[in-house]
Chains A and B, each alone.
Chain A
Amino acid sequence: MSDVLEKALAEMGFALLEYRGNGEFLPIATLPTWFSEIWAETRNSSDPIPLTRQSPFLESFLLEAEDFWNSPTPAGCQSETWIEKALSGREIPVQARALLLDGNQILALLSPDAQFRERVRFLQTARNALLDHERLAREIQKKEILLHCIVHDLSQPLSIMHVAMDSLSEESISERSKQFLTLGKHAGDQQETMIRQILRTFSDDLRASLDAGTEGNVSSDLLECARKTTTSLAPTFEAKGVHLAVSSLVDLEAEWLVVAEESRLQRIFSNLLENALRYTPAGRRVAIGVEDEGDFLKAYVDDEGPGLPRDLRPEQIFGLFMKGKQSGGKAGLGLYFCRITVERWGGSIGCVTLPEKGSRFWFRLPRTSGRTAASPFDAPDASNLKSAKRNPGIVRPLRILFADDQEDIRTLTAYQLKRSGHKVVIAKDGKQALNAFRSASFDVVLLDQEMPGMTGDEVARAIRKTEGGKKERVFLVASTGNTTSEDVRRLKQAGFDDVLGKPFRLEDLNLILSAAPAATDTSMPSVLPGAIFTELVARVGGDEKLLKRMIHTFRRDTPKRLAGIAEAIRRKNPEALASLAHALKGSVSIFGAESARKHTQELQDLGRGKELSRAAEVLALLKEEIAKLQANLRGYANQTPARSKSNHAKRQRPSRNRGKRRR
């Protein structure tokens, strides 16, 4: 090789070596500087270099190179980049290529420094972006859980209030009491609107920006919050026979102001106390206290239970969805909420097993002075918010399985459902609900979402699995405080047919139940007898005008909906088919047209299952049923139900637009 060519190759960074067997190579051109940096002893050497002994990577690559030298292929034989460390500590990227030139076995080594650095930069940026994206998604999930915890807690008592007031309004009470009741209901309506507004606003914010969780500095009295929570939970502790008290070691005169927002600080205490109660046997004691730690103030809850589980580290106990095996706890969000809230305020949280008996759950928060506490739920002016307009539903006697872990909601709701003529089986948790479902037949299963053991989602999936591909599916309703479009989509995916937002009212529930299939076929006959008209009028609250408007709307809109369904089938658009069929199902259900409802359900299922091969056939059947129904409804215009029955129905109907009507 000419001197010029040799120098040119070295200048380009190539090291050319001829293989001499036994892992040794002889340089056939001037070696570049980087080569000598790695293998310094080769400098100025004319002896063969035992490269494979010095580089495990080359030792491995030699096997591939030998294969190539023995049977060359057009694809060649080239290594990926590997890193050799120079004696100076500098990491030098190297690539190897086996060549067969005039029968000579040549190894060409190159250090692709500039390209390599560029590639590293590209990969580093891409992977950092991926990691950032994952972190962002986790952060959003955390905040959504936090939000859902709060909304759930706000909704739960409101549901009880609604149902309790509804029940009360159907009792014989004085006019004055009715006025008070109306006031209470009105306030409940406002509160409900605010809760929904919070959920919607925060939920949107979470998706729009991660800054939603940042809060201004707020300050709360740690001891005062501890006392308030202790007072509010005292009856629960008493009921279980557990003694609850503020520790006698606490300095009641000191200032206990910390960085925290009061309502959530109380919730932290509440979660820790409820956790302690779960594990403390009757006759034992739970103590709550605070301690001064200089820049931080510490709060603790001591119980006399069995101590922390041995198979869990203390940090894990505050993890997401972490539940004790026999805790009887809820969704595993309580302690997780405590942790993320305390950490957001710049504090820390932990737990230990106490030396003698029981465990201590503690948290510490930065000390502050001055009080600027503000509720994070500064609600918008309620007067500007209008309650959603509700339509009454037609409720037929149904067999209903109702599961909720809150005893008061169970009792009140079951009472109301039975009053409406339904047969009700109640379950206090998910597992009990599933067992009940497997041992009897139901038309409707109404499931609370957050239940211990099995969540509503899990029960729904198990029910759908039990049903297999059967055509006759139970009507599944989710009861939840979280009703964003994302929540509803998730619940529908879990197998629910409808979602009942908490806090709910009987009319909400009735509206949903009106869409449920009846236990027996209640298809409308070809000519509607007067009794059925009467029943229809009764079921829309005795309001004939309303019924006529509904019929008018149905007759006007249904042809368009049918055309939309036909178009969705023609365009092979399963999502549109499912959505349009679902909408039409609600309409035909109102008029009790069971056969038509079944066909719309079938079309909806076909759309959801993206199986459109039978859709046209089912649509033809649906059109026949709709035609019958349209004819019957047309005939109704000439009939007038008995006034007295209508009035009777009016007295019996569930309350609707209560505030306005009574004014």
Chain B
Amino acid sequence: MLQKKVCMLGSFAVGKTSLVRRFVESIYSDVYQTTVGVKIDKKNVQVDEKEVSLVLWDIYGEDDYQKMRWTYLRGASGYLLVADGTRKATLEKAVSLERRVREEAGSIPFVLVINKSDLIRDWELDTALESQLSAEGWSILRSSAKTGEGVEESFSLLTGKMLG
């Protein structure tokens, strides 16, 4: 079976851990528990009749207290870039992370997931930036770890991109 390393990247509290838990264990908790360090999970998926084992590296969200360690990207086949639709700054952070990944590790397949679509009324997204990123060829999906909306699709889309 093919094995692919996938990193979860994004600001703190955007829902990276919740997306992984929803995807792997189909569970969700409303209580925010910050990730310190790295958590690794596995899940097998089938894409285009190929079975792939995804090794999901849930990496702590970068902020003033924890800086991203770029060696975690070593061997990664792709990454999910996660932003929180209710916090505009997290989308800007995602954009800067993508640029830094390109500088540190070259072009790796990725999908931008804008999470918390269940709170869409409170979204403060910069739609102009979103459109601009789409025009630049970014794959962008909206998701909700709470309801499960867009979660499977995000990982499937990334897996498809990783398989080329």
Contacts and interface: CB of A to CB of B under 8 A. Distances in A.
A and B from one assembly?
yes
Given A63-B74, A120-B36, A131-B32, A56 B5 contact: yes
Interface in A306-326: 313, 315-316, 318-320
B124 A320 contact: yes
B32 A82 contact: no
A119 B66 CA distance: 11
A60 B75 CA distance: 8
B105 interface: no
Interface in B63-111: 63, 65-66, 69, 71-72, 74-75, 87
Interface in A79-119: 80-83, 91, 93, 116, 119
B40 interface: yes
Interface in A129-148: 130-131, 134, 138
Contacts of B66: 123
A57 B33 contact: no
Contacts of A127: 12-13, 32, 34, 63, 65
B50 interface: no
Given A56-B5, A80-B69, A316 B120 contact: yes
Contacts of A316: 120-121, 123
A319 B75 contact: no
A128 interface: yes
A212 to B, nearest CB: 20
A83 B120 contact: no
Interface string A292-335: 00000000000000000000010110111000000000000000
A60 B74 contact: yes
A124 B32 CA distance: 9
A126 B65 contact: yes
B32 A56 contact: no
A60 B13 CA distance: 26
B36 A56 contact: no
B3 to A, nearest CB: 9
A654 to B, nearest CB: 45
A599 interface: no
A82 B56 CA distance: 13
A134 B121 CA distance: 16
B129 interface: no
B27 interface: no
A339 interface: yes
A64 B71 contact: yes
B120 A81 contact: no
Interface in B27-56: 32-34, 36-40, 55
Contact of A119 (B36, B57, B123): B36
Contacts of A93: 36-37
Interface string B7-41: 00000110000000000000000001110111110
Which of B40, B55, B124 has the most A CB atoms < 10 Å from its CB?
B40
13 contacts: A55-B40, A56-B5, A56-B57, A57-B40, A93-B36, A93-B37, A119-B36, A127-B12, A127-B34, A131-B13, A131-B32, A138-B124, A319-B123
Interface of B: 5, 12-13, 32-34, 36-40, 55, 57, 63, 65-66, 69, 71-72, 74-75, 87, 120-124
